Amino acid sequence: MNKCPFFNICGGCQYDFSAENYKSEKSSVLPKIAFTDAPIWGSAGVRRRADFAFADGHFGFFKKHSKDIIDINKCPNLVGEMNEILPNVAKLPWTGSGSVLITKCENGIDININSVVVFCNVDFRNAVAKLPASIIRVTWNDKEIRKYVDPEIRFDDKIVHYPSGAFLQPTAETEKTLRDLVVKYIGDAKKVADLFCGIGNFTFVTNAMGFDIFGNGVSRDLFKKPLSANNLNQYEVVIMDPPRAGAMAQCKELAKSDVKCVIYVSCNPNTFMRDMEILGQGGYKLTTAIPVDQFVGSSHWEIFGVFEK
């Protein structure tokens, strides 16, 4: 793969994923966790979602260590379908400032725009209407300004509706890797809770009871109202895939519970280690810990952990 022309200019990648020493460079920033397995490496050029920015008529990525925007109409770390539509998106009459989350779904491209400008203007709406048909939905501050069909996401053989701006693993490849790991370590367990379940990456394949603010499960804010130890005791295994803030309140309840196995998928090693200490106080031991290079090119590591007691 050729080196990205924006490397060391754009703030998205800290490491050159095309370089021969990429793995050794990124391995040097592995978090201080007693990993039981070697890193699982993701592929470059398969990222299916990305956050862009716009301001003063410019659309692209933030410049490294800056809020200036580099005009972008192609990124070698993205899937081809996203790169095909980027030139058209970049040419839209952007006014004001804000963020743009572009996601490749199973049946097309979804664009979610958040802006300080409450409503888009007529010129922008008319330009959006002329975008390629592969762009199936565009929202501005959660208001649909174009939709052909509802975007869908596939988890193995399960297809679900994709809510605008919802959480999704950045690549289908590492999403499946994590899902397969969860299935492996759940084993024969029948009573499973999927906490912070989102739209169901782990929920359906494990036949779990899902809990989250929105998505395919019970509507519940686990930060404000975590499942109690008594509620948790009905489950053999608990899966958690929280946001970067981690799951401190929920881990305090888990530490008091009789749940034998907790599978914790984390995108933030710092909050993972904080929560690991809480679980440890409740008698849990980290028996499996695997780093996953889910955010290729960045300094971020995904952690897959299994706690047992």
60: domain CATH number is 2.40.50.1070
Per-residue pLDDT band for 2 (boundaries 50, 70, 90) equals low
- 36 and 55 part of one domain: no
Q: How far apart are CA 244 and CA 231, in angstroms?
A: 25
For 54, 69, 79, 82, 279, the CA distances from 98, given in Å and listed in that order, are: 6, 11, 23, 19, 39
Strands (E), 21-82: 40-41, 49-55, 58-62, 69-71
Domain match, 188 and 149 both: no
Mean pLDDT over residues 225-236, rounded? 98
**pLDDT of the residue at 215:** 77
pLDDT per residue over 249-298, tens digit each? 999 999 999 999 999 999 999 999 999 999 999 999 999 999 999 999 99
Same domain, 124 and 192: no
Does any domain span residue 161? no
C-alpha distance from residue 303 to each of 37, 96, 113, 269 (Å) = 11, 37, 29, 7
> Looking at the domain assignment, is residue 61 inside a domain?
yes
Q: With respect to residue 16, please indicate whether it lies within any of the assigned structural domains.
A: yes
156: left (phi over 0), alpha (psi -120 to 50) or beta: left
What residues have CB less than 8 Å from 80, skipping those under 6 apart? none
91 and 188 inside one domain: no
Co-location of 88 and 180 in the same domain: no
Task: Give tens-digit pLDDT for 57-114.
Answer: 999 999 998 999 999 999 999 999 999 999 999 999 999 999 999 999 999 999 999 9
Q: Which of 126, 153, 180 is the last residue of a domain?
A: 153
State how far the alpha carbon of 232 is from the alpha carbons of 204, 255, 299, in Å.
Answer: 19, 10, 34
| pLDDT tens per residue across span 12-53 | 899 999 999 999 999 999 999 999 999 999 999 999 999 999
Render pLDDT for 143-189 as a digit per residue (tens, 0 to 9): 999 999 999 999 999 999 999 999 999 999 999 999 999 999 999 99
| Residues 206 and 249 placed together within one structural domain of the fold | yes
Whether 226 is covered by a domain: the verdict is yes
Q: Assess whether 89 and 197 both reside in one domain.
A: no
Specify the CATH number for the domain of residue 207: 3.40.50.150
> What is the domain count for the chain?
2
| Residue 218 in domain | yes
227 and 242, same domain (yes or no): yes
pTM strictly above 0.75 = yes
Question: Which pLDDT tens digit goes with each residue over 106-129?
Answer: 999 999 999 999 999 999 999 999
Measure the CA–CA gap between 1 and 104, rounded to whole angstroms.
Answer: 22
Q: Same domain for 235 and 296?
A: yes
Which pLDDT score is estimated for 216? 78
Regarding whether 71 and 22 lie in a shared domain, the answer is: no
Position of tokens 């070697």?
Answer: 38
Among 153, 182, 205, identify where a domain stops.
Answer: 153
Tell me the residue range of the domain where 214 lies.
Answer: 1-45+170-309
Question: Is residue 244 situated within a structural domain?
Answer: yes
Q: Are residues 102 and 142 in the same domain?
A: yes
At 199, phi and psi to the nearest 5? -90, 5
